[in-house]
């Protein structure tokens, strides 16, 4: 059994078809039970994540990342931007304290100055380029400018008329900032940092953007979006937004600045007004994004040119304000348990860890609750599954319903039987999935826990000498009402559910 996430990461430094792209992750910290820096780094290493972006320059995190080889983008937070943009000395002190003190042990390769400043802090727009220049000058003084690039992440919303991409341009009110900024990026060999969120493009399109187009799902040729000016075909929102940035730069006569996507992802959970913020869509988007980037597909405007991307984000951030989706962009919960297992078959690269065989057995959607209950009774009885985690007060008791409890029991049996053919059927009410059903502190057999530790389903099988009697009442779903005769009947049916 292999580790959940398959991120094998390579660096891009310029717009060149000869260079490879990388996938990195953002590490946010708005978490009530934030893992320690040591635990974060252990998870990164277990998942072969080689590129990270921090939203600050936290000393403890930078020390934990030392001697790992992981390439790090550190950030100047927006609340420090005004001071740095108005004082060369303040910028020099920031670089001395947060960069020079940590290199070369910590492999810092970029500094993100602010985050979406033109949207989030527009009054700082006039000093944004000064801040980049002051930071860069401090790097030059320390002979680090060739190793560490300086840029600033932008929201894609600063690009207007983004489709067709060939007509895109930056919001002209920001030309006094964008023109000198692009001159700076070009002169220092840096790149445009862009945050690309097809999820928001999709939900704000009022149905004009198909979900499949946002999720990188294959489209028939007649469903592809076509740029009427260039006749380039677009099969996904991500490429269209990136090319819009390239065309917007061309409009200002900058044609050789690469794009690095500093944030992209999809939420796995939302409130009632966000029906497409679900695990399956998050899994599909991020899995397809990784394959798209690492296959070096490029974009229609720049095929085979790397568009390296940082996934937003490593952990769910439960302290973020706003809708439920704001808290659920992470690949992992704060306890190190994956929110889902990504589908990365045919990603076109050699990965450090292969999870293509990581599968789980779950209750089918829409299955008859009575059939689920009977199968649950069998699994916890003759099936010899240890269903004690389903007891009230135990990790997997909630949600207290027959679908959730049967999913746990079905999967435990499937894992203890080494995923043998036919062991995930239960008379037609179960099916195999690659999405890890673990949630919160409930770790399913076959899943990976904190720092990538495998929870082996076979360890949950009770001994042949176990004296427990079948499936106690506490395991039953809340909505079920079964008599003793039904339970006895389930026990007598034996393997009929397999």
Active-site positions read 116, 263
| 285 sits in which H/E element | helix 279-294
What tokens does 278 get? 């679900």
Cβ contact 387:379 at 8 Å: yes
Tell which residue, 477, 489, 271, has the closest CA to residue 392: 477
**Bridge partners, residue 160, by sequence:** 169
Alpha-carbon span 406 to 214, nearest angstrom: 33
Cα–Cα distances in Å, from 419 out to 121, 361, 426?
Answer: 53, 9, 13
Is 466 buried (19+), middle (13-18) or exposed (0-12) by CB count in 10 A?
exposed
- Spatial strand order of the sheet with 149-151 comes to 149-151, 107-113, 71-76, 51-54, 23-27, 309-311, 259-264, 192-195, 153-155
What tokens does 27 get? 């590490």
Alpha-carbon span 498 to 494, nearest angstrom: 9
Cβ contact 56:37 at 8 Å: no
Tell which residue, 484, 476, 309, 357, has the closest CA to residue 408: 476
- B/e letters for 1-36, b = 16+ CB within 10 Å, e = fewer, are bbbbbbbbbbbbeebeeebebbbbbbbbeebeebbe
Cβ contact 305:350 at 8 Å: no
Is 60 buried (19+), middle (13-18) or exposed (0-12) by CB count in 10 A?
exposed
Query: What is the torsional sign of CA 110, 177, 118, 121?
Result: positive
Contacts of 386 (CB under 8 A, 6+ apart): 412, 460, 461, 462
Number of Cβ atoms within 10 Å of the Cβ of 345:
12
Structure-token match 């953007």, residue found: 209
Alpha-carbon span 231 to 228, nearest angstrom: 5
| 84 sits in which H/E element | helix 81-86
């Amino acid at each position: 059994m292999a580790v959940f996430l398959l991120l094998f990461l390579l660096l891009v430094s310029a717009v060149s078809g000869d260079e490879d792209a990388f996938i990195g992750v953002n590490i946010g910290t708005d978490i009530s039970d934030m893992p320690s820096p040591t635990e974060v780094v252990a998870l990164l290493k277990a998942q072969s994540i080689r590129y990270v972006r921090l939203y600050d320059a936290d000393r403890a995190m930078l020390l934990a990342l030392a001697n790992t080889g992981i390439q790090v983008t550190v950030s100047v937070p927006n609340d420090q931007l005004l001071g740095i943009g108005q004082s060369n000395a303040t910028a020099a002190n920031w670089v001395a304290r947060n960069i020079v003190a940590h290199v070369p042990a910590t492999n810092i390769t970029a500094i993100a100055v602010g985050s979406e400043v033109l949207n989030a802090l527009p009054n700082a727009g006039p000093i944004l380029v000064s801040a980049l220049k002051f930071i860069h000058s401090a790097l030059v003084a320390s002979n680090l400018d060739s190793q560490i690039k300086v840029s600033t992440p932008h929201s894609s919303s600063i690009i207007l008329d983004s489709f067709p991409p060939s007509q895109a341009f930056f919001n002209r009110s920001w030309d006094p900032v964008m023109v000198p900024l692009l001159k700076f990026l070009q002169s220092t060999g840096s790149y445009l940092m862009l945050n690309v969120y097809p999820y928001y493009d999709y939900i704000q399109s009022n149905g004009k953007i198909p979900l499949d187009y946002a999720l990188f799902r294959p489209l028939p040729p007649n469903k592809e979006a076509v740029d009427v000016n260039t006749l380039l075909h677009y099969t996904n929102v991500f490429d269209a937004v990136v090319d819009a940035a390239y065309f917007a730069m061309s409009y200002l006569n900058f044609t050789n600045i690469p794009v690095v996507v500093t944030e992209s992802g999809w939420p796995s959970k939302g409130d009632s007004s966000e029906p497409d913020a679900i695990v399956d869509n998050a899994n599909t988007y991020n899995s397809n994004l990784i394959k798209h980037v690492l296959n070096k597909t490029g974009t229609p405007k720049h095929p085979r040119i790397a568009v390296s991307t940082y996934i937003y984000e490593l952990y769910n951030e439960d302290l973020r304000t706003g809708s439920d989706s704001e808290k659920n962009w992470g690949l992992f919960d704060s306890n190190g348990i994956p929110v889902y297992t990504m589908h990365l078959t045919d990603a076109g690269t050699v990965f450090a860890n292969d999870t293509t065989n990581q599968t789980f057995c779950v209750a089918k959607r829409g299955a008859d609750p009575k059939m689920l209950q009977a199968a649950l009774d069998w699994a916890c009885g003759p099936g010899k599954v240890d269903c004690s985690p389903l007891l009230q007060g135990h990790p997997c008791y909630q949600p207290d319903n027959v679908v959730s409890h049967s999913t746990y029991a079905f999967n435990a049996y499937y894992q203890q039987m080494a995923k043998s053919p036919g062991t995930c059927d239960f008379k037609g009410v179960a099916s195999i999935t690659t999405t890890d059903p673990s949630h919160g502190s409930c770790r399913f057999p076959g899943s990976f826990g904190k720092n990538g530790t495998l929870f082996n389903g076979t360890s949950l099988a009770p001994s042949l000498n176990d004296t427990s009697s079948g499936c106690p009442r506490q395991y039953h779903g809340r909505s079920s009402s079964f008599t003793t005769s039904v339970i006895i009947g389930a026990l007598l049916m034996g393997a009929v559910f397999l």
